[in-house]
Amino acid sequence: MSGTEAGPGSLGRTPEFLLRLPGAGEVDRARGVLLDAVGTNGSRKFRILAGSPARDREMPSFSTHFAGTARTRAGLKRKGILQPSTRWPGWLEAAEDIDCGSPSFAAGVLVGAPRNGWVDWKTEADVPLSDFMEGVRSGPARSWLVRGNNVSGADLVQKLWRPEGRVSLAAPRLRQGVGQGVSKERLRAVVEEDWGTTATYNQKLELVEELHAFLSRMKPGDTVCTLSGGRLYVGQISGPAEQTASDSGLSNLRRPVEWQSKGHPYDTLPEEIKQRLAAQHEVVDLTVVQPYIDGLGLTDEELADEAVETERDPSGTTPALAARRELELPVPDQTLADKLLAHDVGWLREVRDLLWDEKQLIFYGPPGTGKTYTALELAEYLGGGAERVKLVQFHPSYSYEDFFEGFRPREDPKTGEVAFRLTAGPLRELADLASREGNHHIPHFLIIDEINRANLAKVFGELYFLLEYRRRSVRLTYSGDDFLLPPNLFVIGTMNTADRSIALVDAAMRRRFAFVELSPRTEPTRGLLRRWLGRQGFDGRPADLLDALNSRIGDEEFLIGPSYLMKKSVHREGGLDRTWRTKILPLLEEHHYSESFDIAKRYGLDALSRSLGDGGPDAAAP
């Protein structure tokens, strides 16, 4: 029954397909063909051809989660249809053709472990079986949530889906003849005509998305999940969509599904899956958490065993196993403390612990205390590189659209026409990077410089909620996506206490951030300049002058930080005097703007030098 090979999507006879078994080495690939016959639930049947090899052992939990496949495999071994191979010692071999309910069922029988037959059965030219299904999109398998536990008060999961091997979508008003592969544009017109005034504008938008996902985006081999009775049930779509008459009108659109034998208690699910299940839609794309779904019910040892035996991944891991890697923040060591000239590595470790606990932190203090530099260096160290750190600077005109997402004018590269398009801001870009598959255990950092200079309520919008509730999602204003801040995204802000806009930082923001002071009166800032001067081989007199200056400033929020004097240009001839006159004194003039006294007489180098008992600013030069 090998037939003549047809192109993907052809209605003609499909070719012979091959399956590479895990750890097979020199063992031949199994052979099979897709049959025209259809099972009771609508799945296309699949025939394993005689002489195909099979693995002689099973995954330990196979019989628990895939009881039907395990029973069939055991029966074939008892009957001698799957028997010890003489060609491949240590393997089994099919003594005759074996007809199975679906390609995935056939692959599971041969491997003794769950397999996506629509992807794993391939032609000699390496084209997957799913590409030969009419009206089915090519591409990798996806995961979906379809709700069925409360369809007009009925639990279809237990009454229809699991007993009959199906998943369905209620569409009682949908006209006949709207089949698999229909375009979204066509569906918009159909929904508008068929539902008319019985649905609101938003309800029609939801209907179009649900119908398009069910009819056109889902394909055989995709994973489907549903909730019922406090458990998550997982299955694999095993055939095309069909429209059928339903007396109750609750299951007009159906797809065949091979459900796993047992569900998974909701309380035991990974938080990443729970977050996505909270989305308030009937059909939800769960592909972003597919590795977590693939690992449900399997131990680390089972996943590791599969990774070793799977020749497709020479790294010895799988996405499901990688998804279990825990997020970690490196513990700062003395090397980082020396680089930052911190007085004690323990202070850096405390900051690291605050970030781990709170996810958000603000360095605050007077100007020149190294807030931004410390934030950047710490983030690059904890994140493992500059590529995982993004910096933005707030200002009075900064908005939500700048920060997260909004419609921005963009030029079409082909036509040159300018149109408004939804554009991601720095936070959305970094969140998308942090939540990308394989990145969940890697810390990513957003540095917000001068965080208090913007209207924070306007900039953050609904993100205020997400800063506090990292395990929850919200519907976004512009895109309408369900969005959550990934747990591996950390935020470090800097705040200049000399800036009067600090009053804009409301109690809601203060509650969501840990605050760490960087002040010239406390370590690590207090002795920073003296440590830097010693490392550079300069005289310590500038540190004495800065201490004397800050002792004369009554308001702690307006103290002068050491960064102004931590430049080699300051310590050339005349550099200290020039820096004092052009950078430090103007700051103090602004502070005392409404007061009538001589700034230079109180804060100038001459006055400070005399208080220290030397001859003036030249004496302080190196």
pLDDT digits (tens, 9 = 90+) for 384-437: 999 999 999 999 999 999 999 999 888 878 788 888 889 999 999 999 999 887
Residue 207 has pLDDT above 80, yes or no: yes
The pLDDT value recorded for residue 451 is 93
Domain boundaries for CATH 3.40.50.300 within the chain: 334-517
The model carries a pTM of 0.80
The pLDDT value recorded for residue 177 is 86
At which residue do the structure tokens 């003549």 appear? 4
Q: How confident is the model at residue 502 (pLDDT cuts 50, 70, 90)?
A: low
The pLDDT value recorded for residue 618 is 47
- Measured between alpha carbons, how far is 151 from 221 in angstroms, rounded to an integer? 25
Q: How confident is the model at residue 548 (pLDDT cuts 50, 70, 90)?
A: very high
Query: pLDDT tens across 223-278, in order?
Result: 999 999 999 999 999 999 998 877 666 778 999 999 999 999 999 999 889 988 98
- Measured between alpha carbons, how far is 178 from 166 in angstroms, rounded to an integer? 19
When pLDDT is averaged across residues 582-603 and rounded to a whole number, the result is 86
Given a contact cutoff of 8 angstroms between Cβ atoms, the answer to whether 254 and 241 are in contact is yes
The pLDDT value recorded for residue 564 is 94
CATH of 143-314, one of 3.30.450, 3.30.2390, 1.10.10, 3.10.590: 3.10.590
Q: How confident is the model at residue 616 (pLDDT cuts 50, 70, 90)?
A: low
The pLDDT value recorded for residue 500 is 56
- Is the peptide bond prior to 172 cis by the omega test (within 30 degrees of 0)? no
Q: How confident is the model at residue 381 (pLDDT cuts 50, 70, 90)?
A: very high
Q: How confident is the model at residue 362 (pLDDT cuts 50, 70, 90)?
A: very high
Counting every residue written for the chain, the total comes to 622
Residue 3 has pLDDT above 90, yes or no: no
Instruction: Give percent of the chain with pLDDT exceeding 90.
Output: 64
- Measured between alpha carbons, how far is 403 from 448 in angstroms, rounded to an integer? 10
When pLDDT is averaged across residues 186-207 and rounded to a whole number, the result is 93
When pLDDT is averaged across residues 140-159 and rounded to a whole number, the result is 92
Residue 523 has pLDDT above 90, yes or no: yes
Residue 11 has pLDDT above 70, yes or no: no
Residue 18 has pLDDT above 50, yes or no: yes
- For residue 230, the tally of other CB atoms under 10 A from its CB is 10
DSSP H helices, 236-328, are 271-277, 290-294, 300-309, 319-322
Which residues, in sequence order, are bridge partners of residue 34? 46
When pLDDT is averaged across residues 59-73 and rounded to a whole number, the result is 92
Count Cβ neighbours within 10 Å for each residue of 29-52 and write b for 16 or more, e otherwise: bbbbbbeeeebebbbbbbbbbeeb
Is the Cα dihedral 126, 129, 134, 135 positive or negative?
A: negative
Q: How confident is the model at residue 477 (pLDDT cuts 50, 70, 90)?
A: confident
Residue 30 has pLDDT above 80, yes or no: yes
On average, the pLDDT of the chain sits at 89
Query: pLDDT tens across 127-136, in order?
Result: 999 888 776 7
Residue 615 has pLDDT above 80, yes or no: no
When pLDDT is averaged across residues 138-156 and rounded to a whole number, the result is 89
CA quadruple 174, 178, 184, 187: dihedral, nearest 10 = -30
- Measured between alpha carbons, how far is 107 from 53 in angstroms, rounded to an integer? 11
The pLDDT value recorded for residue 622 is 38
Q: Which CATH superfamily is domain 334-517 in?
A: P-loop containing nucleotide triphosphate hydrolases (3.40.50.300)
User: H or E element: which one contains 576?
Assistant: helix 575-579
Closest CA to 147 of 215, 228, 218, 256: 228
DSSP H helices, 79-183, are 103-111, 117-120, 156, 162-164
Q: How confident is the model at residue 220 (pLDDT cuts 50, 70, 90)?
A: very high
The pLDDT value recorded for residue 48 is 97
Instruction: Give percent of the chain with pLDDT exceeding 70.
Output: 92
Q: How confident is the model at residue 621 (pLDDT cuts 50, 70, 90)?
A: very low
Domain boundaries for CATH 3.10.590 within the chain: 143-314
